[in-house]
Amino acid sequence: MLAPYAVRVESSLGRRYPEPPHPYRDDFQRDRDRIIHARAFRRLENKTQVFTQRLSDHFRTRLTHTIEVAQISRTIAAALHLNESLVETLALVHDIGHPPFGHSGERALHLAMQEHGQTFDHNLHALRIVEHFEQRYASHPGLNLTFEVREGIIKHSHDYAADAYPELAEYILDQRPPLEAQLIDHTDEIAYNTADLDDGYEARLLKLEDIRRNIPIFDRCFRLVNSEFSNVRDKLKFNETLKRVLNLLVTDLIENTRARVGAAGAGTVEDVRRYPERLVAFSPLADQERAQVKQFLYHNLYHSESLRPQKADGEKIVRELFTYWLERPSALPASYQRQMETESPARVVCDYIAGMTDNFILDLHRKLLPRLSAK
């Protein structure tokens, strides 16, 4: 069933704390189940994807986005005969390190940390969550995930320079991750590119004519849909078009990756790891079309005037609470105060804020800084 270049669970480098095998779930399936049962996973339900103010319950949250990434990833994994359980696990965990308020929250935390000579990175934070902050099991700290899942958390979206991150040395930073991890970065983008067009259109922030004029792949599909279903309302034409765009991108990613793996002569996971480039990739044309969608969304949705107030608000709340706790560490929960014995105050405050949901941080801000939150 598995391709020769797929990760085999029997060859896993295993867990930090060895555990006896489970009678009817393999190690990657168990990792998937541990992630689904983690508190940090449940918190994704109340973390912003794009729309912080819940204009509609129909828009994506980071949890429903995550489920969409898992769905697309599994389809592609099955078509390429990759390890579907590992792919699903990596998809479900890929956004677990995101702070409240989406990219605004991430930016505010990063800027605050830079003032203390440090950084905030959601992949590194995700690793800290699964290794340290999730305390569920009597027999070991963290979720005790397999090496391949921890490696995928770090390496799925980009390469970290080995000399800059000596603490990540065990993740063989000078090599590429397996295809199962490489896939996630692309499925993440396919998922949010199409979903954000959908939510943006539904929110009436994006207009059909503008989308058609600026996104050639969308316009091409729309013309076909329009001639096939000329009498249905625009929203259904839009949906049908988006479905075809998604399908084209997924199909291209499957076919082009298969061709690249073949051309590289990659016959094993080791070959994939040692290959100088990532082998999961779109064809040059699809890559260009993907970039056009992303660029359109940056200009017309993410950086739009309409979303500016909610973004500014999110950044302000994160910044003010960061300063508040840094000045009053004794106001932190006891477990975070203990963490200060081994880590810098800025890192501890950053960890605390990064774990919060949108609602939780809004409530705390109102409670702790009522004068500022009324502004």
Q: Which residues bind Mg ion (CB under 5 A)?
A: 95, 188
Phi, psi of 48 (to 5 degrees): -65, 135
Q: Which is nearer to Mg ion, 72 or 361 (CB)?
A: 72
Helix axes 345-354, 308-327, angle to 10 degrees: 140
Dist. CA 197–CA 23, nearest whole Å? 44
CB-count exposure of residue 314 (10 Å: 0-12, 13-18, 19+): buried
Residue 113: which of 335, 330, 269, 318 has the closest Cα? Answer: 318
Q: Which is nearer to Mg ion, 188 or 198 (CB)?
A: 188
Supply the minimum distance, in Å, between the C-beta of residue 194 and Mg ion. Answer: 13
Residue 87: which of 68, 65, 62, 70 has the closest Cα? Answer: 70
Q: Which is nearer to Mg ion, 47 or 212 (CB)?
A: 47
Q: Which is nearer to Mg ion, 188 or 351 (CB)?
A: 188
Dist. CA 196–CA 21, nearest whole Å? 41
Supply the minimum distance, in Å, between the C-beta of residue 62 and Mg ion. Answer: 7
Within a 10 A sphere around the Cβ of 202, how many other Cβ atoms?
A: 16
Supply the minimum distance, in Å, between the C-beta of residue 137 and Mg ion. Answer: 27
Supply the minimum distance, in Å, between the C-beta of residue 367 and Mg ion. Answer: 30
Q: Which is nearer to Mg ion, 5 or 51 (CB)?
A: 51
Residue 268: which of 187, 179, 183 has the closest Cα? Answer: 179
Supply the minimum distance, in Å, between the C-beta of residue 202 and Mg ion. Answer: 19
Residue 59: which of 203, 192, 236, 218 has the closest Cα? Answer: 203
Within a 10 A sphere around the Cβ of 29, how many other Cβ atoms?
A: 17
Inter-residue contact 178 to 272 (CB < 8 Å): yes
Supply the minimum distance, in Å, between the C-beta of residue 67 and Mg ion. Answer: 11
Q: Which is nearer to Mg ion, 3 or 67 (CB)?
A: 67
Supply the minimum distance, in Å, between the C-beta of residue 106 and Mg ion. Answer: 12
Q: Which is nearer to Mg ion, 92 or 221 (CB)?
A: 92
Residue 127: which of 113, 147, 108, 110 has the closest Cα? Answer: 147
